[in-house]
Structure 1
């Protein structure tokens, strides 16, 4: 017993010492020297040298200037042992690192095992032939507060990456998607980001059953509090889910997107996107766009989506031959939709024909929902510079929702403010 207590005491002391010894190193890509000490007075020059030469719990601070990227191949440790690569304001990475293999500016990959426990924050990442940030075969990697733009394909890309956290970034003007999580990486958290003016999806998630190892489905995702606009001129939904199940989509603002709003489906995934919760989103489509919520039949013999729940959302499209919700047949196991603000158009056969709200309600859907236009709902939805989708006083969406596991709104305001949940991404505050 005494030896066990002594071992635990020594282990605790070593962990405390490790935390106390965590160091901060500096990189200056203009005047640094990789033969230096890496401290504030004698910074290193390259990101690659820095990420290869720090210990668990250490932080790299990159000073303003233009840098080439790097490949991170050494793991940190959980908790206080995570390694951090942090930019001061004014750091731009505009070319891949010399050891990178995928034409992306920052790559996290070891090629034959998992890289874990890093934080990457504060960089401007642009000009990559492929992606600004590229995570492959990782676990517990956080990318935050980065401006990722004008890259050849995707802003932030992940493959076979579990527990990726992508938060408070801006990803825009990329040749494909704002963020792309792929290859059945589970439990991604995508929160608080701005995704706009990407040629395809704002958020694309793909289970990719063709690639192994992996089960071909992404599970446990949380996509919340993002603003997603002006994406999809080349196709792909604002939030595109191919083989994504048992996940949460809440408090997102989607507007002026040019394909669909949220699509739950399977083409490459191993099952139709199922048992997802789509709660308290505001989705206002661009003219000429597709369906607001799109749940089509799966392709290639894969099981069709089941069990999805759509509640407390504003689902508006101005297009007269499209509508709020498309499903692939009239009755779907476990499918629920209610307490939404909608337009008077739905489809129960994959879009071949349109029915009105009354016919849709006869199937048991949206019996507590209502029809309203943006002018009945929002403060200023037509502002050409920055439309305002907060609920206006007297909005038809106030106190018209139902109780769901959404305890704050897009801006962190507690829900509910009144006797019932408001509908949409914003909770109305009487003093706002």
Structure 2
């Protein structure tokens, strides 16, 4: 018994000794570093490309990308590697480029904007998307106002999923842009819903600040590739009240209301109107033509005191096609200035590379007009057809209280009437080259333009300030442009999902009109005949113009 006790006692002593030795060894071992604790595991089932961040003391300004080995607090962010910055940028782009959806079956309350749970309205989408996004609007008719709101530094796009099959309709202004920045509206069919509607199909104005146009105004709004038609009250597009940086491009316009316009730019700056098609076809919309509508494009300022501007400025009208006049006989396709005010209504206006077709039998005053404005240039435009116009080339006049026109320039244009009725007024026995009362224009230049009156003399009227004899480098000759007798008005046929000329897109309509009616044939007198000092870099189709020998008119002849 004693022997067994001794053995047990010895075992206990031995165990105590072993524990003591192990404890001493553990206390003598160094503490592992942070780097050692985050070493990449060699276990095959847990591979990793980057270290797993460990919990460390909080910093006053942590790095956007955690640095796993850092254990001490720092006041400034740790520099990122190039790879980390690139990955972060890629992540931002993926968020910014996200697409959201709107559908007639969607819901603003229950939807999340995804393809499977779309929203119901464009206005709600713009209120809820991040900068850089695209809103895709599915086919169907959307009733009610669309509000282009939100401030987007990089810009967002609201696009019809299938061009022209998303229709926007309202009995008041269909689209408003009063507080937005950086928004593009693209590919829609937009019109009033019928007679009795409120003013304007689209209105863009600045209501962001106390004095419109003065401080961070509505800007960078783009209307692109839309069918804009049938206003039953006033203009199709009203851009006014201090809006700036507005682009209207690649659209087709027809049928405004009353004495108003397709586009009225009133008290604005830095507006670009380009690559559009303008015409009227009231019968095609089952509306009477009362010959009472205004110019297709009006540039003016009747709002001094209501915004920060005195006169619209920095306006560009280029590469547009205008045809089929059905308006007032005293109006013009494009007019700069319209109202009775005592300041210049517009200045720094450029009208270039436009094609104006006089295919209609409805009288028009002239192709182009200026009233109480200054520093206006009209160059590389083609006016072709009967019109018929009281003064074929231009009307420069003033309204009551207007300042006299000043610095009005005409370079490298074509004015051609193959019917031989150049400037013939149906109400008078004589024809006029221009309608330009001498007391109403202080200064002008007419240089290097081409004139054609079907082989007859170009009209001359000594009572007018401007005649073709004032163009000391002018040419007289046939520009050899296409016959307009078979021209088809390119209105939209929604049931057939095409335009009446057979085109599927606005771009196709545009190209066909320019090719058939604005392009000179080989041997035309306009080829290589322009003054290069006033050359534009490209023509109406975007083709480059040679710097030393450009062509007169909107189209640069292309050797085949």
TM-score bin, normalised by smaller chain: 0.7 to 0.9
Cross-structure match for 1:327:
436
Cross-structure match for 2:59:
none
Taking structure 1 as reference, are residues 58 and 337 closer, same or farther at Cα in structure 2, changes over 3 Å only? Answer: same
Does residue 275 (structure 1) correspond to residue 384 (structure 2)? The answer is no
The TM-score, its normalising length taken from structure 2, stands at: 0.65
Cross-structure match for 1:269:
none
Does residue 180 (structure 1) correspond to residue 249 (structure 2)? The answer is no
Taking structure 1 as reference, are residues 157 and 17 closer, same or farther at Cα in structure 2, changes over 3 Å only? Answer: farther
- Find the residue that maps to 1:21 and give its secondary structure: helix
The CA deviation string for residues 85-107 of structure 1, in whole angstroms up to 9 with x for no partner, is: 111221111225xxxxxx21111
Taking structure 1 as reference, are residues 73 and 94 closer, same or farther at Cα in structure 2, changes over 3 Å only? Answer: closer
Contact kept? 1:178, 1:196, Cα under 8 Å: no
Query: Separation in 2 of the partners of 1:244 and 1:33?
Result: 43
Query: Separation in 2 of the partners of 1:37 and 1:186?
Result: 38
Superposed displacement of residue 147, structure 1: 0.3
2:160 to 82, 87, 104: 87
Deviates more, 1:379-388 or 1:324-333: 324-333
The CA deviation string for residues 388-430 of structure 1, in whole angstroms up to 9 with x for no partner, is: 221111112122210114111111121138x522111111122
User: Mind listing any 5+ residue stretches in structure 2 that lack a counterpart?
Assistant: 1-74, 207-217, 282-292, 338-344, 425-429, 453-457, 489-515
The TM-score, its normalising length taken from structure 1, stands at: 0.83
Contact kept? 2:357, 2:387, Cα under 8 Å: no
Superposed displacement of residue 3, structure 1: 6.9
Deviates more, 1:37-46 or 1:130-139: 130-139
1:310 to 410, 417, 420: 410
Contact kept? 1:48, 1:69, Cα under 8 Å: no
The CA deviation string for residues 254-279 of structure 1, in whole angstroms up to 9 with x for no partner, is: 112642211111xxxxxx22111211
Query: Separation in 2 of the partners of 1:399 and 1:330?
Result: 36
Deviates more, 1:68-77 or 1:212-221: 68-77
Q: How does 1:79-158 map to 2 (within 5 A)?
A: 81-89=154-162, 90-95=165-170, 103-110=172-179, 115-128=180-193, 129=197, 130-137=199-206, 138-152=218-232, 153-158=234-239
The CA deviation string for residues 297-317 of structure 1, in whole angstroms up to 9 with x for no partner, is: 322333211111101001235
1:193 to 271, 276, 285: 276
Taking structure 1 as reference, are residues 53 and 420 closer, same or farther at Cα in structure 2, changes over 3 Å only? Answer: same
Query: Separation in 2 of the partners of 1:324 and 1:291?
Result: 5
Cross-structure match for 2:559:
430
Taking structure 1 as reference, are residues 280 and 33 closer, same or farther at Cα in structure 2, changes over 3 Å only? Answer: same
The CA deviation string for residues 148-171 of structure 1, in whole angstroms up to 9 with x for no partner, is: 111213222211211110000001
In terms of Rg, which structure is larger? 2
Contact kept? 1:52, 1:72, Cα under 8 Å: no
Superposed displacement of residue 213, structure 1: 1.3
Does residue 262 (structure 1) correspond to residue 342 (structure 2)? The answer is no
Query: Separation in 2 of the partners of 1:218 and 1:377?
Result: 35
Cross-structure match for 2:65:
none
Cross-structure match for 2:141:
66
Runs of 4+ in 1 over 6 A off after TM superposition: 2-7, 9-16
Query: Separation in 2 of the partners of 1:324 and 1:3?
Result: 74
Taking structure 1 as reference, are residues 303 and 30 closer, same or farther at Cα in structure 2, changes over 3 Å only? Answer: same
Contact kept? 1:245, 1:276, Cα under 8 Å: yes
Cross-structure match for 1:219:
313
Contact kept? 1:44, 1:50, Cα under 8 Å: yes
The CA deviation string for residues 216-241 of structure 1, in whole angstroms up to 9 with x for no partner, is: 31111111000011135235311111
- Find the residue that maps to 2:405 and give its secondary structure: coil
Cross-structure match for 2:111:
36
Query: Separation in 2 of the partners of 1:384 and 1:5?
Result: 72
Aligned CA-pair RMSD: 3.1
Superposed displacement of residue 325, structure 1: 3.4
Superposed displacement of residue 202, structure 1: 1.7
Cross-structure match for 2:301:
207
Superposed displacement of residue 371, structure 1: 2.3
